[in-house]
Amino acid sequence: MKTPASTYRLQLTPEFTLFDAAKTVPYLKALGADWVYLSPILTSEKGSTHGYDVTDPGSVDVERGGPDGLLALAHAAHCAGLGVLVDVVPNHMGVATPFQNHWWWSVLKEGRDSSWANAFDIDWAAGRGRVRIPLLADDFSAEDLEIKAGELCYFEHRFPLATGTFSPGDTAAEVHARQNYELIDWRRADTDLNYRRFFAVSTLAGVRVEKPAVFDQTHTEILRWFREGLVDGLRIDHPDGLADPEGYLHQLRHAIGGKYVLVEKILEPGESLPPGFDCEGTTGYDALADVDRVFIDDAGEPGLDSIDAFWRGGRSPDYEQMMHRTKRRITDGILHAEMLRMARLVPASAAHGVEHVADALSEITTAFPVYRTYLPVGAEILRAACALASQRRPELAETVEMLLPLLLDAGPGDHAELGRRFQQTSGMVMAKGVEDTAFFRHTRLGTLTEVGADPTEFSITSAQFHERMLTRLQEFPLSMTTLSTHDTKRSEDTRARISALAELPQVWGDFLEGAQELTRLPDGPLANLLWQGIAGVWPAERERLHSFAQKAAREAGTWTSWADPNENYEKQLARVVDSAFDNPQVHSNLQELVELLDPLGAANSLSAKLVQLTMPGVPDVYQGTEFWDRSLTDPDNRRPVDFTKRQAQLKRLDAGELPAAYLLEETKLLVTSRALRLRRDRPELFHGYTPMYAEGAAAEHLLAFSRADMSTNSDSDSSINSSNDSRSDGALTLATRLPHGLERKGGWKTTTLELAVDMSDELTGRHFPRGNARVGEILRSYPVALLVPASPAQSSAQSSSHAPTPSPDA
């Protein structure tokens, strides 16, 4: 199997096509990227900025360059020695504009007689033989429907007419009543929708890819890419939505000839990929959480907890209770139709009532600590969730006990539909209830609420980080690692700056109190989140911050929501954002805070980046993040990238113009390019993982590891605790932790690290002889270093010259 040393993610749009991507290949090669990683390229909704709303799985999107664009990109990449990884979407299709999706159009026109009827997950009985489409506005009138050119029209929306359902003189409402679909009030989607969708997005209809014919129809074009050698691997979007993820991955791997596959799977803390998953690993959120937390100061937790409690009226939130409430908000709200559909599958619902059974199913779902089970794997999780549901709601205990054996049966056959559907649904509840709600309510430190993370885990030690990296190396060495994606709620550099607040809780508390005195946002927890976000990206455009504030408030759902916006509250929220620009005192306080945070955040950013690029796994660089990228949630993190500027700066670095200060954005480009090139060009330096520990008063501020093979000592704990010198056959990463605390201690002083051989720094070109090396000398220029064993010529030159004189500690 061909596997990548690293990947570089590109977001393709109608404005940045496959042809444009092909033009970036020389730069990506020079940067050191090993594979190009593309967002979805199959034909999607016209004008789509993301491509996850596929309307025709049988063709490459013309708006994104079409088949010729893919050929151009593949040719450019392969000629440059780069592989190609493509994001594919097996779970759902875009149906926002029915005539653009001929599968969906056929189903609407022909109903259950359509040859595509089995491709979509539709509960025909619940809709009395019709597909319910939630579209009509609150003020809908029958006069809003029209018949035009043989189609039923509702303003700009067009729908087909079944054969023989229209006669001259019929009203549009009469014709609508005869169709295989029913247009319903958009609010009824929460309770009356009768087709599976992606989360709560009614314009993304679930596809039954578990059916062999549907798999073939949805993968014909994808398989062509492999037959013709255009693509080398796949990233699978949202496998948790599939009826049988394990079966799908086996079928896919066989169909593409055993090529490289990753899954977008969110692993909760302590969770591992199911052993039957035929893939190399995940897209890296689990790695992101570990990297973030090792650069957070645990000493700041009490202070930030106190600030958080103050703005909540004196009490810290119970996260478990918060998750239970937010997940119930989802099961009783936007996903209630899914709960009712499952309840209708339970024979006893006739006696107990569908709503009662749905209540029990909802309570079980909210008790899940992970996205889903993959029965028989995870059966104990399901049993524990049922026990917790009965404990929380004793009046449901009998129903829960009755449901458990039904939910444990997820095998083939109609009798097991409930078990399979429950597994598909629990992940949706977790995503919407936790990621998209609780993460906007749990606001003590924004870094902690990223996808796949547990915000109750505040930080980890270097030793804990090393343990997790050893596990990663042993279990999934080819799994992706990442720091930013098209879905992260805050980009890596934004989080790195926010993380510095853990070293300055008093400063943050004073700033937030001052901001609230001047702006008086009634939602204290949201104010905490909002000002962290603003400080994390400042300076920023006003419109970007308005968009972030509105989205955060609506996702939290405490004062306003997507379904029922609170206009007065949102105007007040906008005025708070405006105060950062227009109120002299707020602006001055913010500037002063950011000036303090900026060098700390930059040190955190460079350290996190080098660690992510050199730790076990396949590192991904999200487009543009080789420069400082301080973004917030989408669409802010999908802005166009200036590759020309990056290419020019890389040429200057290669000409020897090293950054004079680590605050300059070209320093991050230097770190990224040198680490990527080393991983690609010298893979023998990245075979193992050996934890490293410095000695001295500031030792805790160094995170260091060698990618050499570990000691032959089989006791991993002993290896972690005893490794204090570098190995001669691996790259050595040195990264600064908790820079403000280091500064308060007066710098590195006499802190040392034992080097087993002569080494040179890939970032600065400086050489260091074997022996006890001063950490302050190695990190004299930047807060990070990437050391490699020196060549014989370098060692000879080093030994014949005077050793470098230690400079004053920075």
* H or E element, residue 555: helix 542-556
Q: What is the pLDDT of residues 522-540, one digit of tens each?
A: 999 999 999 999 999 999 9
| CA gap 609, 606 in Å, rounded | 5
Q: What is the pLDDT of residues 193-240, one digit of tens each?
A: 999 999 999 999 999 999 999 999 999 999 999 999 999 999 999 999
| CA gap 242, 94 in Å, rounded | 16
- Please tell me the predicted confidence (pLDDT) of residue 724: 52
What are φ and ψ of residue 760, in 5° steps? -130, 150
Q: What is the pLDDT of residues 423-444, one digit of tens each?
A: 999 999 999 999 999 999 999 9
Q: What is the pLDDT of residues 139-176, one digit of tens each?
A: 999 999 999 999 999 999 999 999 999 999 999 999 99
The pLDDT-based confidence of 798 (bands split at 50, 70, 90) is low
Query: Does position 803 have pLDDT exceeding 70, yes or no?
Result: no
Query: Does position 667 have pLDDT exceeding 70, yes or no?
Result: yes
* Angle (nearest 5°) at CA 208 between 205 and 213: 130
- Please tell me the predicted confidence (pLDDT) of residue 412: 77
- Across the range 697-726, mean pLDDT stands at 68
3-state secondary structure of 612: helix
Query: Does position 716 have pLDDT exceeding 80, yes or no?
Result: no
DSSP annotation of 416 reads G
Structurally, at CATH architecture level, domain 7-91+209-283 sits in Alpha-Beta Barrel (3.20)
Tell me the domain boundaries of the chain.
7-91+209-283, 98-206, 318-440, 683-810
Q: What is the pLDDT of residues 228-258, one digit of tens each?
A: 999 999 999 999 999 999 999 999 999 999 9
The pLDDT-based confidence of 728 (bands split at 50, 70, 90) is low
Q: What is the pLDDT of residues 481-522, one digit of tens each?
A: 999 999 999 999 999 999 999 999 999 999 999 999 999 999
Query: Following DSSP, what letter does each residue of 350-408 receive, concatenated?
Result: HHH-HHHHHHHHHHHHHT-SSS--BTTBTHHHHHHHHHHHHHH-GGGHHHHHHHHHHHH
- Which residue is listed with tokens 């299709």? 93
- Across the range 296-322, mean pLDDT stands at 96
Query: Does position 772 have pLDDT exceeding 70, yes or no?
Result: yes
- Top-level CATH class of 98-206? alpha beta
- Please tell me the predicted confidence (pLDDT) of residue 350: 86
The pLDDT-based confidence of 715 (bands split at 50, 70, 90) is very low
Show Cβ contacts of residue 486 under 8 Å, excluding neighbours closer than 6 positions. Answer: 9, 11, 39, 50, 622, 634, 637, 638
710 contacts 688 by C-beta, under 8 angstroms: yes
| CA gap 418, 413 in Å, rounded | 11
- Please tell me the predicted confidence (pLDDT) of residue 269: 85
Residue 442 burial class via C-beta count within 10 angstroms: exposed 0-12, middle 13-18, buried 19 and up: buried
- Please tell me the predicted confidence (pLDDT) of residue 415: 80
- Please tell me the predicted confidence (pLDDT) of residue 808: 33
- Across the range 29-34, mean pLDDT stands at 98
566 contacts 550 by C-beta, under 8 angstroms: no
- Which residue is listed with tokens 């992940």? 427
Query: Does position 638 have pLDDT exceeding 50, yes or no?
Result: yes
Closest listed residue to residue 97, CA positions, set 222, 241, 205, 237: 205
231 contacts 42 by C-beta, under 8 angstroms: no
Percentage of the chain beyond pLDDT 90 is 93
- Please tell me the predicted confidence (pLDDT) of residue 364: 98
Closest listed residue to residue 496, CA positions, set 633, 637, 595, 603: 603
Query: Does position 624 have pLDDT exceeding 60, yes or no?
Result: yes
DSSP annotation of 3 reads -
- Please tell me the predicted confidence (pLDDT) of residue 711: 55
The pLDDT-based confidence of 802 (bands split at 50, 70, 90) is very low
- Across the range 662-677, mean pLDDT stands at 97
Query: Does position 461 have pLDDT exceeding 80, yes or no?
Result: yes
**Residues written for the chain:** 810
- Helices 524-537 and 584-614, packing angle to 10 deg: 70
> Mean pLDDT for the chain?
94
The pLDDT-based confidence of 781 (bands split at 50, 70, 90) is very high
Closest listed residue to residue 440, CA positions, set 451, 425, 429: 451
Tokens describing residue 393: 């709601």
| CA gap 187, 329 in Å, rounded | 15
Query: Does position 132 have pLDDT exceeding 80, yes or no?
Result: yes
Query: Does position 183 have pLDDT exceeding 70, yes or no?
Result: yes
- Please tell me the predicted confidence (pLDDT) of residue 645: 97
